[in-house]
Structure 1
Amino acid sequence: MENTYYIQDYCHIRNGEISSNGKTVFKSSDTNFKSVMKSAYKTLDMDYSKFFKMDNLSKLAFMAAEILLENENEKNVALVLSNASGSLDTDRKHQKSIQDATQFYPSPAVFVYTLPNICMGEISIKHKLYSENSFFIFDTFSPDVLHDYSNSLISENKAEKALCGWVEMDEGKYDAFLYVVAKKGTFVHSIAEINRLY
């Protein structure tokens, strides 16, 4: 018999707005990504100076994770994230620096973010997570894979909880939907429910 798991909490970041469990926690009339992140960081009283050195994808994932994990005591939280463009937003920046004849050595600070899973490393460092993690690239949001994979991690005792979702960042367009899967929670962790909340 398959175990039933639940969505404990969820978060969206879209169009200048950050919401937690359907309630707005930050809203800006300026939907520009950099402005939103800078204002949200101050408004939500975050304290992590490395945040401003991260690439845009990491900032997006980190901000959503921060909303969800701020008061989380469990350290065995698996990370199962996905998007459509990988780290393409940063890859373009890195490629541009390579092609610039005046920049003989491209910046290591940019190069380090040319893998999409680096955003999971930033979340793990901040929250001291030593857990399973996977980053999937899909054409569109694919809740079936997130559902099956996170349920499997918990049922096989590889994680107590899982932080799952979609973090898409490309050419200024951003969309984050993260949620925590746990053994107790508000919504049944089903593909239909994930789709509804997304």
Structure 2
Amino acid sequence: MERKNNISGHCVIENNSVFLNGEKSFALEGVSFSEFAKAAYKHFQMDYPKFFKMDNLSKLAFLTSEIILKDVAKSEEEQDIALVFANQSSSLDTDVKYQESIADKNDYFPSPAVFVYTLPNICIGEISIRHQLKSENAFFVFDTFPTVFLHNYAEMLRETQKAQKVLCGWMEYYQENYKGVAYLVEETGDLEHNEQIINTLYRN
């Protein structure tokens, strides 16, 4: 029997604004992403001190995902959530910062705290630890938003029963240019899980 797939919640973060299920729920103009991220963390009453040690890509992914998952991933039966993320710049923003820390032979000071974030899938690890997720997770790099790929991957995970729910995300961050898009695919939800809807969520 074919499983029905819908989108039960979606969140977009860009231009220092948070849009939850299509409605602007928080904004803070005229500040850096780091300042905005801290303010959003407090606004949504999150409680995860490790957030402040994350790099900006992980902060973006954490915020966008947490806003959706905070009321979903609470009980043991709700932990079967796969994560499928993608972006364009990989972890380049952090890679550049790490390279700067080792470029000067006279001031050679590689930072382990920076180095740990020189892989894009680390942000998935942060979310998995936060919610004790043990389902499939993957991070891919594409030139553009991979509508068809994300749609097909989520459908496959649900159809093969590898996950009850799939959180799909586009987490792009490079030098203050960023966009976080996340949506949860499951049996219930107000939006049908199809490519047209996914494209609409990304563009809004």
Q: TM-score, normalised by structure 1?
A: 0.96
Q: 1:108 aligns with which of 112, 130, 135?
A: 112
2:131 aligned partner: 127
Alignment of 1:104-183 (within 5 A): 104-183=108-187
Q: Summarize deviations over 1:70-116 as a string: whole Å, max 9, x none.
A: 01131010000000000000000111111122443411111110000
Distance in 2 separating the partners of 1:143 and 1:3? 20
Question: What is the CA distance between 1:155 and its match in structure 2?
Answer: 0.9
Distance in 2 separating the partners of 1:98 and 1:183? 49
Distance in 2 separating the partners of 1:81 and 1:29? 27
Question: What is the CA distance between 1:46 and its match in structure 2?
Answer: 1.4
Question: What is the CA distance between 1:47 and its match in structure 2?
Answer: 1.2
Question: Superposition RMSD on alpha carbons, in Å?
Answer: 1.3
- Figure out how many residues of one structure are paired with residues of the other and give that number: 198
In the alignment, structure 1 segments of 5+ residues that lack a partner are none
Secondary structure of the residue aligned to 1:139 is coil
1:75 aligned partner: 79
Question: What is the CA distance between 1:138 and its match in structure 2?
Answer: 0.5
> 1:7 touches 1:188 (CA, 8 Å); kept in 2?
yes
Question: What is the CA distance between 1:30 and its match in structure 2?
Answer: 2.1
Question: What is the CA distance between 1:31 and its match in structure 2?
Answer: 4.8
Distance in 1 separating the partners of 2:156 and 2:52? 35
1:35 aligned partner: 35
Distance in 1 separating the partners of 2:200 and 2:44? 27
Question: What is the CA distance between 1:2 and its match in structure 2?
Answer: 5.0
1:47 aligned partner: 47
Report the identity percentage. Answer: 51
In the alignment, structure 2 segments of 5+ residues that lack a partner are none
- 2:104 maps to a residue whose letter is D
Distance in 2 separating the partners of 1:35 and 1:148? 36
Distance in 1 separating the partners of 2:116 and 2:57? 12
- Please say which of residues 44-53 and 7-16 is displaced more in the overlay: 44-53
